[in-house]
Amino acid sequence: MSETYIDRFPAEAKVIRSAFYGSFLALALGGLFGIIQTLHRTGYYRFIPSEDYYTVLTAHGVFLVISFTIFFLVGVFTWAITTSLDREVEDIRFTWAWYGLMAIGITITGIAILAGFTDATDISASVLFTFYAPLQAHPMFYLGLVLFVVGTWLAGADWFRSWLAWKKENPDERIPLPTFMVLTTMIMWYIATLGVAVAILLFLLPWSLGLIDNVNPTLTRTLFWFFGHPVVYFWLMPAYMMWYIMLPKVSGGKLFSDPLARVVFVLFLVLSVPTGIHHQYLDPGIAEGFKFIAMTNTMFLLLPSFLTAFTVVASMEHGARQRGGTGYFGWLKALPWRDPVFAGMALAGLMFAAAGFSGMVNAGMNINYLVHNTFWVVGHFHLTVGTAVALTFMAVTYWFLPQITGKALWNRSVGLAQVVTWFVGMTFMSNAMHRAGLLGIPRRTAEPLYENFEFDAAVGSVGELQAQIALGGLLLSVSLLLFFANVIGTVLNDRSDSLPANEYAGTLSGPEDAPLVLDNLKLWTGIAIVLVIFAYTFPLLSIIGRGGLFGPDIIEFVPISVDTLPVVIGAIELVVTDALASAADTAVATVSVVMR
């Protein structure tokens, strides 16, 4: 491989470009709404009526976490599949079809949201990206989301198809790592989106169309979070993919361990879904025992991120030492900090270490009561999806754009300034948001400082926190302007013939060191499904039993736990006995084989 991506795959480069441009358009719109609401909430500059705040917040959320992230990642995944299998897509018309479906879907949803700003039509969808009932959106909002998600399903089918075709020709080869990452992520996504598909198709859309009178809000919320937690890994896993296959290369070295990377993606596949109830610790209609199970699963789910921190930093250190770095920490200086691709990803990783910390706080059932629905949570997700993911995507854009356009990056220094500004802006904004949350300042409102109520800051003051949040928001906006200047400058450049080749990092310990079972996708899918069944069957049955399939929700008063707990304990007993029995069987069988 010594050619650029566009030389080798001109047709696919076109689709990826369209996906990226769609993604950047969403980023621009989402960013614009972001600065409007930062200035509004902090009281620095208000020009929208507070009634429009929910519309702004919905647009900010949906455009950024649904359109920006997912359009970008389908581009990256198409690149990863074609590059690592060294194979064109099976049918480029099919690829365009899923892209088209996604684009049409999100346009319909977007129009439904933006129509909320005008009284000229009844259409509106100010329901936030979580679209909890009883907030109701115009049917267009849900319909657009359905089309968008079906588009992503077809995209997954496209990538599976490529892999199966490749496998037929290479029956004895290991799945190339980037392809492995795409496939495991997509299986996770198929399982996760079942929850939101049921919530929309069975309940929210018919309700919004007037076909049914009620929904059960606890049920639709639970189905939302069935999807809403794993969706965060749908954003994260492509960023992790770039940390595994691109960061070591730009650091000047190789990936420390391919087998560990596979383990990480398998763990995400298996554990991402049965944890969603950790967003509902404060929901009354769910028994404490079920919340406890979700918490336990969440704590296990920290493992793949800890493994990632280890593997990725070890790979960076290897790169730094290849570049002449020495000492316990001195090697850090040998890293290519002036390269925006490297600096952006490394700073995103650094931020994610802090994000993981606030995630662990969220995940603790008892500490969650302190931070839930406060500004703390907003701080948390601006470090995760807003930095670990978004900053990684912006940084790798500086590598991808030349590959898919054949044009040199407009300006590397502007790129470097952009990633640093993002990091600094987010440091101000997120840190202050976390602190504001600890004071009890709520999220999701235009008027966070209630009248006749004093928020007591232990250190500093509420005014100082507001100032930091506004300053952070401004820096983020500047960073976005720099980003778009670079994208536009690059697109307007002439074609260049001195671009680097389309390559990703080699490995120190390669796939030959990974046990074969890791590539057994059927096995991991099976385990993932079983875990989901365990984590969700009883909570869902109990929610439906109490509130009815179509509402009207909570009939009894809360808290509930006593009557559902024996069922759970009974079920656990059954499973454990079963597991022990089959473990014993396997042991006997293995021993007899070994003895023979």
- Interface residue list for Cu ion (CB under 5 A): 229
Interacting residue with ligand HAS among 83, 126, 257, 362 (CB under 6 A): 362
Contact 155, 193 (CB under 8 A): no
- Work out whether 279 is an interface residue with ligand HAS (CB under 6 A): yes
Residue 530 binds: one of Cu ion, ligand HAS, none (C-beta under 5 to 8 A by kind):
none
- Pair 335, 320: CB distance under 8 Å: yes
Query: Which residue of 81, 363, 505, 535 would you call a contact of ligand HAS, by CB under 6 A?
Result: 363
Q: One symbol per residue from 441 to 480: x for binding ligand HAS (CB under 6 A), - otherwise; what is it?
A: ----------------------------------------
Q: Which residues between 370 and 409 bind ligand HAS (CB under 6 A)? A: 372, 377, 380-381, 384-385, 389
Kindly state the smallest distance separating residue 370's Cβ from Cu ion, in Å: 17
Q: Which of 33, 381, 504, 538 is catalytic?
A: 381
- What would the two tokens of residue 587 be? 């042991």
> Rounded distance, CA 166 to CA 161, Å?
9
Rounded CA-CA distance 107/110 in Å is 5
Between 62 and 155, whose beta carbon lies closer to ligand HAS?
A: 62
Q: How many CA atoms lie within 13 A of 562 on its CB side?
A: 3
272: partner contacted, choices ligand HAS, Cu ion, none (Cβ within 5-8 A by kind): none
Among 356, 402, 415, 551, binds ligand HAS (CB under 6 A): 356
Residue 315: CB minimum distance to ligand HAS, A: 9
Instruction: Decide: is 236 part of the binding site for ligand HAS (CB under 6 A).
Output: yes
User: Which one of the listed residues 41, 279, 318, 443 is annotated catalytic?
Assistant: 443
Q: Specify the stretch interacting with ligand HAS by CB under 6 A; choose among 24-32, 179-187, 353-361, 400-408.
A: 353-361
Residue in 382, 434, 435, 546 annotated catalytic: 382
Could you tell me how many residues of this chain bind ligand HAS (CB under 6 A)?
35
Q: On the CB side of 565, how many CA atoms lie within 13 Å of its CA? A: 7
Measured between alpha carbons, how far is 48 from 105 in angstroms, rounded to an integer? 28
Distances (CA, A) of 46 to 49, 58, 217, 315, 425: 8, 18, 33, 47, 21
Contacts 24+ apart (CB under 8 A), 117-124: 117/52, 117/55, 124/55
Min. distance of Cβ 527 from ligand HAS in angstroms?
19
Distance between alpha carbon 123 and the CA centroid of its chain, in Å?
29
Best CA proximity match to 262, nearest among 193, 328, 209, 308 = 308
CA distance 485 to 529: 45
Position 296 contacts ligand HAS (CB under 6 A): no
> What is d(CA 460, CA 464) in angstroms, rounded to the nearest whole number?
7
Instruction: Return the closest-CA partner of residue 532 out of 208, 187, 248.
Output: 187
Q: Residue type at 468?
A: Q
Shortest CB 62 distance to ligand HAS, Å: 12
Q: Minimum Å distance from CB 227 to Cu ion? A: 11
350 binds ligand HAS (CB under 6 A): yes
Answer for the pair 503, 176: CB distance below 8 angstroms, yes or no: no
The whole-angstrom separation of Cα 560 and Cα 100 is: 46
235 binds ligand HAS (CB under 6 A): yes
Instruction: Rule CB under 6 A: say whether 353 interacts with ligand HAS.
Output: yes
Whichever of 64 and 465 has its CB closer to ligand HAS, that residue is 64
302 sits near ligand HAS (criterion: CB under 6 A): yes
> Residue 87 catalytic?
no
- Is 233 tagged catalytic? yes
Q: Running DSSP on this structure, what letter comes out for residue 441?
A: -
Of 35-43, 48-56, 202-210, 229-237, the segment contacting ligand HAS by CB under 6 A is 229-237
Q: What angle do CA 155, 161, 166 make, to 5 degrees?
A: 135
If we measure between CA atoms, which residue out of 240, 175, 258 comes closest to residue 521? 175
Q: Is 133 helix (H, G, I), strand (E, B) or coil?
A: coil
* Cβ–Cβ < 8 Å for 274, 294: yes
Nearer to Cu ion among residue 229 and residue 407 (C-beta)? 229
Q: Active-site residue 99, yes or no?
A: no
How far apart (Å, rounded) are the C-alpha atoms in residues 235 and 393?
10
Active site residue 382: yes
The residue nearest Cu ion at its CB is: 229
Catalytic site residue 381? yes
291 binds, among Cu ion, ligand HAS, none (CB under 5 to 8 A by kind): none
| Binding interface with ligand HAS (CB under 6 A) | 130, 232, 235-236, 243, 278-279, 298, 301-302, 305-306, 308-309, 312-313, 316, 346, 349-350, 352-353, 356, 359-360, 362-363, 368, 372, 377, 380-381, 384-385, 389
